[in-house]
Structure 1
Amino acid sequence: MMPRSLPADPLMLQEARQTPDAIARQLSENAQAADALAAVLRERRPPYAVTIARGSSDHACTVLKYALETELSLPVASLGPSVHTLYGTRLDLRGALVIAVSQSGASPDVVENVRMARESGALTVALVNVEDSELAHSAEFVLPLRCGEERAVAATKSYLASLTAFLPVIAALGPDDRLRAALDGLPDALRRTLELEDAANALAARYRFAQNLLILARGLHYGVAQEAALKLKETSGIHAEAYSAAEFSHGPKRLLAEGLPLLGFASDDAAWPATEAAYADLREGGADLRTLGPAAGSTLRTPGTGHGLTDTVPSALAFYLFAAHLALGRGLDPDAPPLLSKVTKTR
Structure 2
Amino acid sequence: MLLETREAPQVIARQLHENAALVEGLERAIRERQPAYAVTVARGSSDHACTVIKYALETQLGLPVASLGPSVLTLYGTRLNLQGALVIAVSQSGASPDVVENVRMAREQGALTVALVNVEDSDLAHAAEFTLPLRCGEEKAVAATKSFLASLTALLPVIAGLRDDPQLTTALEGLPEKLTAALALEGAAAELAERYIFAENLIVLARGMNYGVAHEAALKLKETSGVHAEAYSAAEFSHGPKRLLVEGVPLLGFTSADAAWPAVQEAYADLSGARADLRTIGPAPESTLQTPETGHRLTDPVACAMTFYLFAAHLALHRGLNPDQPPLLSKVTRTR
TM-score range, shorter chain: over 0.9
For 1:40 and 1:113, the matched residues in 2 are separated by 20
* Partners of 1:103 and 1:128 within 8 A in 2: yes
Q: Provide the residue aligned with 2:46 in structure 1.
A: 57
Q: Provide the residue aligned with 1:197 in structure 2.
A: 186
- Structure 2 residue aligned with 1:118, among 101, 107, 128? 107
Q: Provide the residue aligned with 2:159 in structure 1.
A: 170
| 1:214 shift after superposition | 0.1
* Partners of 1:71 and 1:175 within 8 A in 2: no
| 1:176 shift after superposition | 2.7
- Structure 1 residue aligned with 2:241, among 236, 239, 252? 252
Letter in 2 for 1:142: T
Letter in 1 for 2:22: A
For 2:115 and 2:255, the matched residues in 1 are separated by 30
Q: Provide the residue aligned with 2:219 in structure 1.
A: 230
- Structure 2 residue aligned with 1:100, among 80, 89, 98? 89
For 1:122 and 1:240, the matched residues in 2 are separated by 36
Q: Provide the residue aligned with 2:20 in structure 1.
A: 31
TM-score, normalised on structure 1? Answer: 0.96
Q: Provide the residue aligned with 1:73 in structure 2.
A: 62
For 1:155 and 1:176, the matched residues in 2 are separated by 30
* Partners of 1:19 and 1:190 within 8 A in 2: yes
Matches of residues 328-343 of structure 1 in structure 2 within 5 Å?
A: 328-343=317-332
For 1:175 and 1:104, the matched residues in 2 are separated by 32
Coordinate RMSD, CA, aligned: 0.6
Aligned residues: 336
For 2:225 and 2:304, the matched residues in 1 are separated by 19
- Structure 1 residue aligned with 2:207, among 218, 226, 233? 218
Provide Cα deviations, 1:37-83, integer angstroms capped at 9, x if missing partner.
Answer: 11111111100000000000000000000000000000000000000
| 1:175 shift after superposition | 4.9
- Structure 1 residue aligned with 2:118, among 108, 119, 129? 129
Match of 1:249, SS state, is helix
Answer yes or no: is 1:87 the counterpart of 2:76: yes
For 1:91 and 1:228, the matched residues in 2 are separated by 31
Relative to structure 2, which stretch is displaced further, 16-25 or 168-177?
Answer: 168-177
Match of 1:21, SS state, is helix
For 1:346 and 1:36, the matched residues in 2 are separated by 31
Provide Cα deviations, 1:299-321, integer angstroms capped at 9, x if missing partner.
Answer: 00001011111000010000000
Q: Provide the residue aligned with 1:288 in structure 2.
A: 277
Answer yes or no: is 1:156 the counterpart of 2:130: no
For 1:36 and 1:232, the matched residues in 2 are separated by 38
For 1:210 and 1:96, the matched residues in 2 are separated by 44
For 1:124 and 1:74, the matched residues in 2 are separated by 15
Structure 1: runs of 5 or more not aligned: 1-11
* Partners of 1:22 and 1:157 within 8 A in 2: yes
Q: Provide the residue aligned with 1:240 in structure 2.
A: 229
Answer yes or no: is 1:270 the counterpart of 2:259: yes
Letter in 2 for 1:189: K
Letter in 2 for 1:151: K
Q: Provide the residue aligned with 1:345 in structure 2.
A: 334
For 1:297 and 1:174, the matched residues in 2 are separated by 32
* Partners of 1:105 and 1:129 within 8 A in 2: yes
For 1:124 and 1:101, the matched residues in 2 are separated by 11
For 2:24 and 2:233, the matched residues in 1 are separated by 34
For 1:202 and 1:340, the matched residues in 2 are separated by 27
Match of 2:299, SS state, is helix
Structure 2: runs of 5 or more not aligned: none
Letter in 2 for 1:307: H
TM-score, normalised on structure 2? Answer: 0.99
- Structure 1 residue aligned with 2:2, among 6, 13, 21? 13
Provide Cα deviations, 1:138-160, integer angstroms capped at 9, x if missing partner.
Answer: 00000000000000000000000
For 1:307 and 1:234, the matched residues in 2 are separated by 30
Letter in 2 for 1:102: S
The percentage of counterpart residues that share the same residue type is: 75
For 2:170 and 2:84, the matched residues in 1 are separated by 31
For 1:300 and 1:15, the matched residues in 2 are separated by 20
